[in-house]
Structure 1
Amino acid sequence: MATEVTDIHIGIAPIGWRNDDIPEIGKENTYKQILSDAALAGFEGTEVGGCYPTDAKELNKELGLRNTRIIGQWFSGYIIRDGVQKAAEEFHKHCAFLKAVNADIAVYSEQTYSIQGTEKCVYTEKPSFTDEEWTNLAEGLNVLGEIANSYDLKLAFHHHMGTGVQTKEEVDRLMQTTDPAKVHLLYDTGHIFVSDNDATSLLYEHFSRIAHVHFKDVRTDKLTTCKQEHKSFLDSFLHGLFTVPGDGSIDYAPIYDYLIAHQYKGWIVIEAEQDPKIANPLEYALKGKNYMDTLRHYV
C-alpha cells in the first residue's frame, strides 16, 4: 500500500538523555546536546525536557540554529488533590510557554496518588480513583482542555504506569466522561503494553481521540523479571524494561499501518526511559529513527 505520510511528523523525547524523575541520570547531557543529537539523527523535533530553558526566546534561538521544533511538554496535574482552579492557573502558564515556542501538544498526566516516582511495585500497587474523583477529574480536564484550545494547543492525556489512569478500562472511562473537543488521548504503546499486555486495542477503540503518539518498545524478558522482583517503575526502566521501537517485543508494522490507513495527522514521538550510561542516547536515537524509516518505506 503506497500512502503519503507527510501529515505524520517523527520526533523524539529527551528522556533517553535526561530523566526528570531521576535528575542525576544523564545530567552531563545539556539541552543543546539533546537538540543537536536529535537533529543529527534526523528527527523533526523534540518534546521539552526538564533541563530545557524556560525562556522561550532562548529556546527558539537554539531551535532555529538546528532547524528543529518543539512538539509539546509534559504537565503533572493534581486536579483531584488540589482542585481545578489551582491546576488551571499553572496550566495557563504551561500553555503560554508552549504557544511561544510554537508547540502543538500539551501532555497532561493526573499525578494524584501516582507511584511512578516511588519505590512501590508498579505492577501491584497502582492507585485507583473513587467515583467522585473520576467525576472531578473529567470535569477538570474539560476546563483545562478549553484552556489548551485557547492557545491553539491540544490537551493530550497520557495514560501512564503507576497512575490512576493506566489500564484500557480506565482510559475507556476517561474518554467516555470527557468532551472530545477538549480532551484528547496520548496513545503510548509501551505503557499500555506493560499494563494490559496489548498494544493495539486502545488504538483501535479510541483512534478518533488520539492527538499524540509515543512509540516506546518493551523487552518482555525484562518485563518478566521486573514483575517477579516486584520492581518500581524507576527500577524497571533502569533494569532495561524499555527501549526504542524495533529493539523490543512490540510489532509496530500493524500499528503504523493502522495510523496511516486511518489518516492520523500529528506526531509520533520515539521514547524510551533508559540509563544513558548504558544506552548511548545518540546511538539509540539513530536506531529508533532507522527503524521508523523502515516502517515508512514498508507502507
Structure 2
Amino acid sequence: MEEISWGIAPIGWRNDDIPEIGAENTLSHLLSDIVVAGFQGTEVGGFFPEPAVLNKELQLRNLKIAGQWFSSYIIRDGIEKAEGDFREHCQYLQAVHGDVAVVSEQTYSIQGGRNDVFNEKPHFTDEEWGILCTGLNRLGDIASLYNLKLVYHHHMGTGVQTLTEIDRLMENTEKNAVHLLYDTGHIYVSDGECMSLLQKHIDRIEHVHFKDVRHNVLERCRKEGKSFQESFLAGMFTVPGDGCIDFVEAYHTLLENHYKGWIVVEAEQDPSVAHPLEYALIARKYINDRLLLVQD
C-alpha cells in the first residue's frame, strides 16, 4: 500500500463474541453506513458471507477488506491443527483481497469469560512461549504464500497483553514473518499509556487499530473487577475523539516513520446504546478535524 487507508471495524455494529447484540444489523446496513461515514473499508466479521457474495457488496460501494481476526490455539492444540485452520483463513482473505491476517493466541484466554480481566490474565511458561513463537513463525510463512501479512494482536485477557509480553514476542519471532498490530485501546487499558509500544516497535507494526478509552469507566470497571465483556458493555471503549487518548501524537509518530497500511477505527460497544453510524461519524469528524490536519 502506498499510503494510509482508513477503515472502521464491524464490531461497532455486530459482535462475534456476543451475537445477540446488533443482530438486526445486516451486512448491507453495515457496509452502507461505512460509506456514509466516509471510510474506505472494513475488516471481516464472523457473520460475513462467502467471498463471491461479499465481493459483490464491496464492489457496489467501492469498499475494501483490510483483514480478519484469527483465533490461534498453537499452545493448546499444536501447530499442525493451527496450520490447517490458518490456511483456510488465508484462502478466504485472499479471495476477498484482504491485506492482513490478524492473529491472537487464545490458549487460556479469559476475554470471553467472567474472570476479572484486570487481575486474572493468563501467563505462558517458558516452554509455551517457545511453542507459540515457533508456531507463529510458521503461520507467518504461510500467510506470505497468500500475499498476506500476519499481524499479531496483543489483547486484554490473553497471554500477550502487556508491553513486556509484546517485547518477548517480538524478540523471539522472525521480523519478516510475524508483524504487529498496534491497538491503542488494549495497550492503554493494560499498561496505562499507548506511546511506548508504538515508539519501541514501530518497525514491526503493519496494521493499526485506533480505539479510544473512557478513563472514568475504565477505573470503575477495574475497581469492580469486571470481565472484558462486562467492561466494554459498560462503555470502557469508544471511538477516537470520545475518550482520553491523544491520537494526534500517535498519528504523527506513524507519519514520521512512514507507516503505510490501514488504520482501522474499532470500539467494542453495545450498538443499542452507542448508535453505530453516529459513532462512526464522530470518529470521522475527529479524523478530519484533528488528524488529517497534522498531515497537511
TM-score scaled by structure 2? 0.98
**Would you say 1:140 and 2:135 are equivalent positions?**
yes
Q: 2:100 aligns with which of 105, 109, 114?
A: 105
Query: Letter of the aligned partner of 1:30 in structure 2?
Result: T
C-alpha deviation, 1:32, in angstroms: 1.6
Is 2:167 the partner of 1:200? no
Residue-pair matches, total: 294
Asked whether 1:45 is paired with 2:53, we answer: no
CA offset at residue 182 of structure 1?
0.3
Letter in 1 for 2:236: L
Which of 183, 190, 211 pairs up with 1:188?
183
User: Aligned match of 1:116 in 111, 133, 136?
Assistant: 111
- Residue 87 of structure 2 is aligned to residue 59 of structure 1: no
Structure 2 CA distance for aligned equivalents of residues 145 and 180 of structure 1:
10
Identity %, equivalent residues:
61
Aligned to 2:250: 255
2:136 is paired with a residue whose SS is helix
Task: Note if 1:177 corresponds to 2:172.
Answer: yes
Residues 229-240 of structure 1: pairs in structure 2 closer than 5 A: 229-240=224-235
Q: Does the residue aligned with 1:95 lie in a helix, a strand or coil?
A: helix
* Offset from partner CA, 1:153-201 (integer Å, 9 cap, x none): 0000000000000000000000000000000000000000000001110
Match of 1:289 among 284, 287, 294: 284
> TM-score, normalised on structure 1?
0.97
Mapped to 2, the partners of 1:13 and 1:193 lie a distance apart of: 19
Alignment partner of 1:18 is 2:17: no
The C-alpha deviation readout for 1:97-148, integer Å capped at 9, x for no partner, is 1001100000000000000000000000000000000000000000000000
Match for residue 273 of structure 2 among 278, 288, 293: 278
Q: One-letter code of the match for 2:248?
A: A
Q: Which runs of 5+ in 1 are unaligned?
A: none
| Higher mean C-alpha displacement, 195-204 vs 5-14 | 5-14
Letter of the structure 2 residue corresponding to residue 85 of structure 1: E
Question: Which letter maps to 2:217?
Answer: K
Give the match's secondary structure for 2:201.
helix
User: 2:42, 2:64 within 8 Å by CA — same for their partners in 1?
Assistant: yes
Unmatched segments (≥5 aa) in structure 2: none
- In 2, Cα distance between equivalents of 1:170 and 1:140: 16
Letter in 2 for 1:108: V
Q: How many Å separate the matches in 2 of 1:212 and 1:298? A: 20
Contact in 1 for aligned 2:2/2:261 (Cα 8 Å): no
Task: Answer yes or no: is the 8 Å Cα contact 2:207–2:262 preserved in 1.
Answer: yes
Runs of 4+ in 1 over 4 A off after TM superposition: none
Shift of 1:6: 6.3
Counterpart of 1:24 in structure 2: which amino acid? E
| Aligned counterpart, 1:31 | 27
CA displacement, residues 29-59 of structure 1 (integer Å, 9 cap, x when unaligned) = 0112111111111100000011111x11111
Residue deviations 1:206-259, cap 9 Å, x none? 000000000000000001100111000000000000000010000111100010
CA distance in 1, matches of 2:169, 2:294: 34
1:86 and 1:291 map into 2 onto residues whose CA distance is 43
User: Which residue identity is paired with 2:128?
Assistant: E
Distance 2:193 2:48 in 1: 33
